[in-house]
Every structure is written in C-alpha cells, then in structure tokens.
Amino acid sequence: VRVGRGALDLLVDDLAARPPGRLLAVVSDSRVGPIHAEPLFRRLRRRGLPALLLTFPAGERHKTRATKSRLEDELLAVGAGRDTAIVAVGGGVTGDLAGFLAATWHRGIPVVQVPTSLLAMVDAALGGKTAVNLPGGKNLVGAFHQPWGLYADPAVLGTLPAREWLGGLSEVVKTAAIADERLFEWLEAFASALRGREPAAVDRAVTACLRIKASIVRLDPLEQGRRAILNFGHTVAHALETVTRYRIPHGRAVALGMAVEVRLAMESTGFPAEHALRLHQLLETLQGPLRWPAGADAAEVARTARRDKKTREGRARYALPVRLGKMAPGSDVTVTLSDSRLMRAIRSLSSGQVPASRV
C-alpha cells in the first residue's frame, strides 16, 4: 500500500521494476478514463510496458455481470492469458468490477488498485472485496481477491465532482464512528477544511482511514467475524440504492444509512443519544440536510434489506456501534432486527426528527 502525493509515480516505477503480468490491462470507466487512466496508460507505454486500455460506461448501474462479460470478451479477443494483470483506475465501481474480473479471469490474476475517488481511496480499494450487482441487490455476486498493490494518491482527488467528494466523506465519518473517537473529534473540528478539500486535511483523513481499515481487514480478511463492523450504515444504504435503482450515489446512501442505523443503535446497543446527535450533525455539516428520498418506501427498503448478504435466518442484520468510535467487542458484531423497527427508524428520519439529546 502506497499512500501520499506522488503515489502514481511510484506505481509506474513499481510496474516497470517488477511487472505483475506480461500484459497490463488498465480498466477504467468512461468518466475517469480520459482524466486518469489514459495518461497512466500512455506513461506505461512510454516505459515500454505492454499495456492495453479497457473502458466501460460510468455508473453503479453498469457494475453488472453483462459489463464484466464484455470486458472478458475483450481480454479474450487480445489473447490475454493468465500472465495478464489488471490495473483498476477509478472509483468504487471500477475497483469492484475490475477486481472481480481479475478474481475470475483464468481463475485469478493480479489486480493493482488505483483509486481515484475519496470513497474508493478510504474504503473500497483496500480489503479485497470485489463484486457486481444483481437487479435484486448490491454486490451479490463476487469474490475476495486481495490486490497485488494499492496506490492512493490524494492529488487525483482534485478532479472529483463535488457530489462525489461529499459522498466520499461519508466513509470517512463511518470509519471514525466505528473505530476512532479522536478522529471523529478531528473531523468535527476540520469539517470545513475537508469540505474545501484542503490538502493537509485531505491527506490526514485518507491516511488515517486507510490505516484503520488495514488493521481491521488484516485480522479478518474474509469477513468471517469482526470485519463486519465496516458495514455500519451499509445494510440500509445498500437497500436504499437497490430500491432507488442507484439514482442515489453510494456516499449519500451511506450517510442516510448511518442516520437510520444510529437510531437502531440507540434502541438496541445503548448508543448514547448525544453521540447520535453529533453524528447526525457532522453528516449534515459535511453533506447538507439528510433528507430521505421521497420515492423510497420504508417497507420496500426493509424487504430489500432482508436480501442483503448479511441476512441470517431471513432477518436483516446490522453492524451497530455502541458509542462513537466503539463497536461491541468480540467477533459477532452484528445484530438482527425486525422489519418494523427498521421502518420506524426510517420514518423518524424522513419526518425530519433529529435524535433527541439528553445533554
């Protein structure tokens, strides 16, 4: 893992010094491709490395089995064998899709993750989770496939659209909320610096989040237990994205998901009301008002949440902190809750209530 300004230069040097494959297939989407993947592709070619550029249409709606098949057909057409390596340049969608492509091409070839969105940099690109979506749910088909390397250069974040930047801050907040109360306090203090993408604040947030995620993933690479704490907010977020057919960006869905799930935490893990209020306020400071989308029916979201990968015995499961920066100890960190409790929490948020503070 290489983090910091200049990581992309290191990437080119590393690929030239010890290439992970005889052919480097750079995979990117139609939005990031022209900005970051094409320049990288040209640099690799100038260094004499056999490289190839594959792109697919941008957007979570294209993270599908059909897109993966099309990329496979393109690899086959150029004769890409087991001695190929994938270089995934893009946000979470590209990392998931290109990672899954690498996981199954000839039963597994190396993938180099080059995240270009804040969300991918602090969360998605590390940890080996890869997947595509099904019409009925997110990330339902995929594999664990640890990257050969991860190169996170915050300099690329300058080109990120504002909406994606703010969405990515959701995963930063989540990381602090589950693992590091001091980081959470720092986020509260530096919220406007982060909104404004001040380099020093951005670098610190990215480095802190990557360090936390790496320590969690190292202990439980296959998510057999404790790693599930990273899913705080995500049971609701994934269901919301599915129900709205990915019209809501992932980062926004995670913010709404945490706002709902922290209400569940207040009821079921004793999460302090004043902490819930702080979380709610930090999310609104960073992202603007947390408005539940009008078309997302609470009952339908609850039904969809039951199809989530975390489902056990037909009931949705949630990874809920016990207070800011702290999850329950042990390896069984998720709780089962009924549809009606989830629907109540969604209705509380969508009616505009904030968590009551006891302070």
Candidates 313, 330, 358, 359; binder of its own copies (CB under 8 A) is: 313
100 Cβ contact list (under 8 Å, min separation 6): 68, 130, 131, 132, 141, 142, 143, 145
Which two structure tokens, joined as six digits, stand for 103?
């996981």
- Reply yes or no on whether 107 is catalytic: yes
Q: Residue 334: name the closest of 241, 225, 253 by CA.
A: 225
- Length of the chain in residues, anyone? 359
> Do residues 305 and 254 make contact, with C-beta atoms less than 8 angstroms apart?
no
Out of 63, 231, 275, 278, pick the active-site residue.
231
Contact positions with its own copies (CB under 8 A) in 132-151: 134, 136-137, 139-144
Please tell me the count of residues contacting its own copies according to CB under 8 A.
Answer: 41
**Nearest distance from residue 138's CB to its own copies, in Å?**
11
CB neighbours of residue 152 within 10 Å: 25
Q: Is 190 in the site for its own copies (CB under 8 A)?
A: no
How far from the centroid of its chain's Cα atoms is residue 242's Cα?
A: 15
**Nearest distance from residue 309's CB to its own copies, in Å?**
5
Which two structure tokens, joined as six digits, stand for 169?
């801050």
Q: Is 358 in the site for its own copies (CB under 8 A)?
A: no
**Nearest distance from residue 20's CB to its own copies, in Å?**
14
Residue 282 vs residues 116, 173, 189, 241: alpha-carbon distances, Å: 24, 8, 10, 22
Q: Which H/E stretch holds residue 92?
A: helix 92-104
Candidates 312, 329, 330, 351; binder of its own copies (CB under 8 A) is: 312
Q: Is 76 in the site for its own copies (CB under 8 A)?
A: yes
Residues marked as catalytic: 107, 129, 171, 213, 223, 227, 231, 234, 238, 250
Contact residues for its own copies (CB under 8 A)?
22, 65, 69, 72-73, 76-77, 79, 81-83, 100, 103-108, 129-131, 134, 136-137, 139-144, 222-223, 306-314
